[in-house]
Amino acid sequence: MPELPEVETVRRGLAPALEGRRFEHVEITDPRLTRPHDPLEVALELEGERVTKVDRRGKYLIVRFESGRALLIHLRMTGSLRHAKAEDHGLEQLPADPHRHAVVTLDDGSDVAYRDVRRFGTWLLLEPSDVDTYIDTRVGKEPLEAAYKAKHLAEKLATRRAPIKAAILDQRTVAGVGNIYADEALWRAQVHPLTPANELTADEVKAVHKGIRASLQAGVRRQGSTLRDYQLPDGSSGSAQDRFKVYGRGGLPCERCGTPIDKIRVAGRGTWYCPNCQAYRDAGAGSTKRGQRRYAASNSSKRPSRSRRQSSV
């Protein structure tokens, strides 16, 4: 799933193309993209809207309009946006694609095409009075803003008994962190991913805060990570995957201490960490497995049924 660095890279790529431009024509061919709203009705509502700003909160791309409305785009697992310039014959320059589910033609003749293989992405058009409320109830503070301090993270973690990795994957705790950058952040902080969030010391919270910011900043500098589907609006790839510290590096040596990187599961996600640099608090052989058993036991009694589970925002 595209995380903050990927969505921020898309925002930076689309902003010059969209800001100041009017949506001349909109075609949405996948009803899943706008459900429960009719895609034809959403397309008609979007036509004529003029973009004032391309913004972002967490993993949400926000296209703000002159009218005060906003289009919230969530790329989910495999969504991507491609800009085709008018001088390059717009959409004609792109190959035919069965996974293209929406096209916006701008008033300069260029096109923005939305592609999504797994079709989990969403487009939601919000009225002016609903924009901030909708986002604020689903997404926490922006971790890369200068005003975001360790104390804000500490406040969110103080009552969380879940493992620290599960806690920072919750978008209401901190916006934009997903599986990749959670592992990268905890490696930087030298904190075991199974450590209960409310048991972190003040210094550990500061280290996690610093690790989150550092890992996200590294991802943004390298224009996100292209592992499979993610692409920039110009069709190029990110390079953050070439510099991962732990994610996907099982069995390879930790660059800090040389210990082979290990893989476990936390909150249902594959999780990579260094057993030496990120030693579990319960010292001794088998401590990580004991931590996993404790987490599984405490979680099993309160796990909701499948029908009640909510997907990550």
Q: Which of 11, 59, 82, 100 is catalytic?
A: 59
Q: Which of 3, 8, 184, 204 is catalytic?
A: 3
Q: Find out whether 275 and 285 touch, Cβ atoms under 8 Å.
A: no
Q: Which of 22, 53, 210, 269 is catalytic?
A: 269
Whether 59 is catalytic: yes
Q: Find out whether 63 and 45 touch, Cβ atoms under 8 Å.
A: no
DSSP 146: T
Alpha helical stretches, state H, the chain: 4-18, 39-46, 131-136, 150-157, 164-169, 179-189, 202-221, 287-300
Report d(CA 214, CA 195) in Å as an integer: 20
**How many CB atoms lie under 10 A from the CB of residue 117?**
16
Report d(CA 87, CA 106) in Å as an integer: 13
Phi, psi (deg, nearest 5) at residue 93: -75, -20
DSSP assignment string, 29-93? --GGGTTTS-HHHHHHHHTT-BEEEEEEETTEEEEEETTS-EEEEE-TTTEEEEEE-GGGTGGGG
The two structure tokens encoding residue 123: 């487009």
Q: What is the dihedral of CA 246, 248, 250, 252, to 10 degrees?
A: -60
| Residues sharing a CB contact under 8 Å with residue 201, sequence separation 6 or more, in sequence order | none
The two structure tokens encoding residue 228: 């499979």
Whether 2 is catalytic: yes
Whether 289 is catalytic: no
**Active-site residue list:** 2-3, 59, 269
